[in-house]
Structure formats: structure tokens, C-alpha cells
Chain A
Amino acid sequence: MVNNAVCAIAIGYGIGACIALQRRGSGREGAAVLLLCVVVAAYCAPVIGKSMPTVESAYKRIYGPISSYMLEKLGIR
């Protein structure tokens, strides 16, 4: 429920803030806010959110083998 609420808020705020900032002449800021809000909405969305990559999952894939190798070499459990 929290995720759904944040998703909805993010979409609403993103669109609203983008339009408001565009009118004020801050087009770049509006686009940046919209970009962030879209990313937030994607992560909080009901189905696709769970499969979105996170820093944790990405780094586990990249550094996992390096870590296992190094810890084995160092003899640390």
C-alpha cells in the first residue's frame, strides 16, 4: 500500500512540478524532477518494481565473484 501510494504521489508530483517549473522558465529543473519521479514510480510500481535493478543487486553481480575470490585467498570466513 505504501509503495502504491508513493507511486501515485510521484507521478502526480512529477507531472505537476514539471508543468509548474516549465511555466516559470526552469525547463531543465522540470525535466529533472520528472525524470526522478518516473524512476521513483517505476521502482514503486506494483509489478515491475520488484524486478527493477538496485545498486545492491547490481553490485552483488559485479563484485560477488571478486569478493569470493579475494576472501578465499585471504582465508577469511
Chain B
Amino acid sequence: MQEKVSPGAWICLIFSFISGFSTLFLQEAKLLEQDVWLSYLCGIAMSFGVLAVLYLAQRNYPGLSMTEVFDRLLGKQIAKICLCLYLVYILEIQGAAFQALTLFYRTVVLPNTSSGQIILLIALTTAYASSLGLGAIVRTVQVLLCFFLFFMLVIVVFIYKNVTINPFLPLFQHRAPEIAFGGLLSLYFPFGKSIVFCFLFSRVTNRKKLLPSTLIALSLSGLYLFAATYLSFGSLGMNLVQSVTFPFFSAIQLVRFGEYLERIEIMIIGIWTVFTLFEIIVLQFVFMQVFEHIFALKHVRALALPVGLLFFAMSHRSFVHQADLSFYNFRIGPFSTLLPTVVIPLLLLLISLLKRGNRSGEGGPLLASSDDARRPRS
């Protein structure tokens, strides 16, 4: 029997998924500076909109998982192709995530360790974690989130002491196209990644609270990202944020307790790393679920290690240079994300509305949907 997730746990899971990596590069903040909050709002709104669209598409098929809804709406063959696109999307996101984490560790902590070793270690860890099931993942998130929030709160209070300017003044200094592109950047990373949670909709216990919980999670992630950006700009300065590779990390490096107690960031790195791993664990878990559906498999545990090694192999061959990652995140990612995060969900909604319209025209929409609900899930 599949484990279910409560709405509260759902919020924790989405928050952890988005917030792990979101503060690493602050790329849209470097583009938009004091107007970056507009791009965050756009990213949150668009992500929530997409998830709401998918929820509405699935609502007509209660009791079915999203992959089954794909089958119903698009037909089995086209659904498989679309789901394969989502597998490719997950490979894209995880490749960038692996290399970002590896880059961070090799730049800051372990400069003489090969990227292959670090990626392999991450892949093995996340493969094991994803094989434990959604229940174990969610429970771990809920336990660790307390520590994460506690440490972050302490750090935020101490970084705030170093803030010397209001970094969000003067307002509205950027052109509309720049803000629109910033919104697209925010959609690609970090908010649009939450699209993978559509494949876990059927796991939430209280379906009525699913959308409000999702909105709360996205908003809290946005608030955390906003706070990190504010503190980075305010304590480092606008010019320095443009130069440094990891702005929020550099802001944390300035935190000092008294005169001698420094290098607090070492503790933060530990807990932050765990949260970045949650993103990869969830991606692996969803990858296995979608893969299972495409190939009509019954058991997925055997796939845990091969999927982990696949993630390793793809990541190790991608983004070989640091500049590749920056280039991709800024120039390619915002456009490649549109197909899985906007086009396909809108297509699904459109087809579901058309099908609903056809059924109501034929005079038996309610009967049809209840028949679908009674059909057992594979």
C-alpha cells in the first residue's frame, strides 16, 4: 500500500525541496538587483498556477495518479512520450543540482577532491534514501526541518546586524522585459521545479487542502529566498554580490560571535547540504515512479541503485566547466523549462476541459467520471 502524506508534511516537503538550492547562486538577484522581489513573485505565481492547472486536470479523475491521468487524457502512447519528457526534465534538473553541489564543495571545502567522487557519494546516498519510500523521506524532512529553521534563524539574526543599507531601494529601476525574464529565471529555478510534485498529488491525504498547502509551501520558500537575498545584498553590498559566486554563503561567512568565534558557516554547510540532498532524493523518487508507470513495472526498489548510477553518469558528463553551469542556468534553462512546466500542463487542462465538455454534451459526465474512479489503479 502506498504511503500517504498529510498536508502539513506536504508543506514541509515542498519547502525543503525548493529551499535547499534556491539560495546558492542568486542569479536572478544579480540580474535584477533591487527589483528581484518582483521576479520571485512572478515565479511563485506561475509555479502555483501550473500546479493548480494540473490539480484541476486531475480533479476530474479522483483516485487516479497523475501518470494515469496522462494516459486518460492523452492516450497511452502520447502519454508515454510526455512522461519521457518529464524524465528528461528530471535528468536536466538533477544534473544541474549535482554539479552545483559539487562545484560548491570543490570551491569552498574540498578543492583537491575529484568531482566524480563527490557526485558518486551523493548519488549513492540519495539512491538509498529514495529507496526507503515517501513516508521515510517525509518523516526525515520533518525532523531535520526544525534544526534547519533554528540554525537559519540564528544566522539571519546575526547577518541582519551587518546589514547597512536597504538593498531594495530605489524600486522599479529595471525595464519590464528584464523583470519578465527574471520571472522566467525564477520559474526555471527554483520555483518551477515543484512541478514534479504533481506526480505525488495522489499521495496527499486531504485533497481539499492540497492547493492551499502548496501555496503556503511556495510562499514560505519565497519568503526564505527573499530574506536570503535581502541579507546578502544588505550585508555584502550590491557590487560585491555581483562578484561573488555564492552570495548568501559569503554573507554567512561574515557572521561572528564575539571577536573570535568565526567560521560558523561550517555548521551551516552541513545542514544546508542535507536539504539540497532532499531535492535530489525527491527527484529520484519521482523518476522511479514515472519510470515504473512508463514500463508498467510492479516493483521499483530494484531500480534504486541503477537510477542512482544513471543520475551519477548523466551528472558527471554534464556541466563539466563552471562556466557551463552559469551559461545554462541563465540562457538555456529558462526556455527549456517551458515545455514541461507550462506547455504540457496547459495542454492537459485544455484536453480535460474539452473532454468534460464533450461528456456533458453527451449527457453523462457524472456517470463517466465515477466509472473512471472505480477502475483500480495499477
By a beta-carbon cutoff of 8 Å, the part of chain A in contact with chain B is 1-3, 6, 9-10, 13-14, 17, 21, 26, 28-29, 32-33, 36-37, 39-40, 43-44, 49-50, 52, 54-57, 59-60, 62-64, 66-68, 70-71, 73-76
Majority DSSP secondary structure for residues of B touching A: helix
Which of these, B88, B313, B336, contacts A39 with CB under 8 Å? Answer: B313
Q: What total of A-B pairs shows CB separation below 8 Å?
A: 117
Nearest CB in chain A to that of B115: its residue: A2
Tell me, rounded to whole Å, the shortest Cβ–Cβ distance linking B73 to chain A: 25
- Complex Cα distance A57/B18, Å? 25
Nearest first, the 5 closest Cβ-Cβ pairs linking A and B are: A2-B116, A43-B313, A36-B306, A74-B177, A56-B318
- Asked if B296 contacts A75 (CB within 8 A), the reply is no
- Taking CB as reference atom, which chain B residue is nearest A39? B310
Starting from the known contacts A26-B299, A63-B332, A71-B181, 13 additional A-B residue pairs (CB-CB under 8 Å) come to A1-B116, A2-B116, A2-B120, A6-B309, A14-B306, A28-B297, A36-B310, A55-B91, A56-B95, A56-B332, A74-B177, A74-B181, A76-B31
Residue of A with least CB distance to B118: A2
Residues of B within 8 A of A54 (CB): 95, 314, 317-318
B328 CB-CB contact with A under 8 Å = yes
| Distance of A28 Cα from B303 Cα, bound (Å) | 12
Given the complex, which residues of B lie within 8 Å of A28, measured CB to CB? 295-298
B303 shortest CB reach to chain A, Å:
6
CA distance A14 to B298 in the complex (A): 18
